[in-house]
Amino acid sequence: MQELDTSVRRFRRRVALVSALAFWIRGLVLMGFLWGTAVLALRAGTGVRREVLLWGLAGALPIAVAALILGLRRRPSEGSVLALLDRHHRGGGLMMAAGELELGGWRGLIGEVAVPQVAGSYRWGSLAAAAAFVAGAFLVPVTPAGLAAERPLEIGEEIARLTERIELLEQEGLLGEDQAERFDDELQSLQDEASGEDPAATWEALDHLQEITDRAAAEVAEAALAEGARLAAAEAVAEALRGDAGGAGEGLASEAMAELSALTARAAADSRLLEVAVAAELGASAGESLDLGELLDALRRGQDDLGDKLDRLYAGGLIDLETLLAAKKSLEGGDLEKLADFLDENGLEAAGDYCRGGRPGSRPGRGGVSRGRADAAMTWKDPSSPEGAKWRAQVLDPSSLAALHQSHLLGLTAADPSAPEPGAPAAGAGIDPGATSGGGAGGAYTHTLLPRHRGAVQRYFDRQESPR
């Protein structure tokens, strides 16, 4: 119990301290979140050491001073404290009056006054959360952006792969030495200068080099397709010329020889795809003294050489499997008709016709698994003579006649287009009595087709007409 004045002073001081503590805790909470944010930002942005950032703790001191000042300013007035004490002790206004005038004889009734307890609701939970946030800001691993900028970008694999491609293109003669050297220098500088600061620029440069090599490889593939077709065509013509002993006519053969020479020379001209020696051999074979045997050997070596080059390009990843197969297929030639068409498109009509055996579609195929169809167009030579043939006239029965009238053309098949001689008896022979022979040495076989068989026959001719 204390004197009233002392009690008032103590209560005001107690309120000031409790208020200051409450303000300080609130200030610490705010400081904690701001400090933690600053720690995270500085560690991530500039890589400042933790020991340096710990100095932020010193901010608690000015906050404490500010809280104390605020607490002192928010102290209740003496009059209100007296009112509080009067109410708590049921003073009936005496304590309040004591602060305003002399109580005189009533002073003794007041006596000692106990100071009320003051409590503050402190935000301990918020303070703990702020402290945890600060601790997390210090402890969480953060990779500074600057450090990331200093770390070089890992592009070693990409550099190695592009280097291999450039070397392969240079070895195959598809890239000039100067150009390849320039690309190598560029790759080396990329590897030296690549960093995490601007990865986009590095990847763009790598993509540019990749695009150059891809473009070179695509050009090679396209050229290989054409070269392969030329070599295959030249081989086919050479084989045809060597295998044919003047059967297609001297004029056509000489023209075909001349065009073969030109085709071989054109194939040898593209030194990018053929070895120098092979190209030279082709060029020599295509000279004035055209030796078909030597030419064929040279052409086959050229084909092998081109095939090997394509294999190496595929192994180096410069061309894909589809391109490789297409190029190899063009080397093999295959379809004689397409080969003849290729020759026609390249202005070598004589060679194309020669391939066709003097007339379109007459040249036999070479057959084999990788050489295309073996069927050849039917040729008509040495028409058979009607001498010694016996003909027997047969009158068609009415049903056959009726069926003939009801019949309609379902299709045509290959036959001798020459018309039968007028007056020649139509003789039937063979097992089938209904069979009649059409005119011509080849003999078109006709048979009365029952209606139910028409669909099958139609499908046969449709299948014949559709390209294989």
Partner 1 sequence: MSSETSPEIPQPDDLAPVVELASRVLEALDRVLLGREAFHRLVMTGILSRGHILLEGVPGVGKTALIKALGQILGLEFNRVQFTPDLMPGDILGSHILQQTAEGRREMSFQPGPVFTQILLADEINRASPKTQSALLEAMQERSVTLLGTTRALPEPFFVLASQNPIELEGTYPLPEAQLDRFLFKLVVDDPGADVLEEIIATRRRGEAPPPAKTLSAAELGELFQMMDRIYLPQAVARYIARLVAATRPAADEAPELVREVVSYGASPRAAIAMAEAGRAHALLAGRPTVGFDDVRAVALPALRHRLILGYKARFDGIDAAAVVSALLDSVDETGLDLPAGVEVVSGG
Quick check: 79 binds partner 1 (CB under 8 A)? yes
Span interacting with partner 1, options 13-21, 127-135, 236-244, 450-458, rule CB under 8 A: 13-21
Report phi then psi at 198, rounded to 5.
Answer: -140, 70
113 sits near partner 1 (criterion: CB under 8 A): yes
101 binds partner 1 (CB under 8 A): yes
Q: 237 in the Ramachandran plot: left (φ > 0), alpha (ψ -120 to 50) or beta?
A: alpha
- 124 near partner 1, rule: CB under 8 A: no
Question: According to CB under 8 A, which one of 51, 52, 55, 117 is a site residue for partner 1?
Answer: 117
Asked whether position 4 contacts partner 1 by CB under 8 A, the answer is: no
Rounded Cα distance between 371 and 393, Å, is: 48
Q: Which of 104, 246, 251, 422 binds partner 1 (CB under 8 A)?
A: 104
Q: Is 289 in the site for partner 1 (CB under 8 A)?
A: no
Contact of 418 with 440, CB cutoff 8 Å = yes
81 binds partner 1 (CB under 8 A): yes
Q: Please say whether the beta carbons of 8 and 82 come within 8 A.
A: yes
Q: Could you give the 3-state DSSP secondary structure of residue 297?
A: helix
285/292 Cα distance (integer angstroms): 8
CA 227 to chain centre: 28
299 sits in which H/E element: helix 292-315
Q: Which of 220, 216, 218 is nearest to 228 (CA)?
A: 220
The smaller minimum CB distance to partner 1, of residues 105 and 467, is found at 105
Q: Is 364 exposed, middle or buried (0-12, 13-18, 19+ CB in 10 A)?
A: middle
Quickly count: other Cβ atoms within 10 Å of residue 349's Cβ: 16
Query: From the CB of 71, what's the least distance to partner 1, in Å?
Result: 8
- Would you count residue 398 as binding partner 1 (CB under 8 A)? no
Smallest separation, CB 27 to partner 1 (Å)? 13
The residue among 68 and 296 lying less far from partner 1, judged by its C-beta, is 68
Name the residue nearer to partner 1 (CB basis): 79 or 368: 79
The 20-39 contact track toward partner 1, x by CB under 8 A, reads: --xx----------------
Sites of contact with partner 1 (CB under 8 A): 15, 18-19, 22-23, 71, 74, 76, 79-84, 86-94, 96-97, 99-106, 113-123
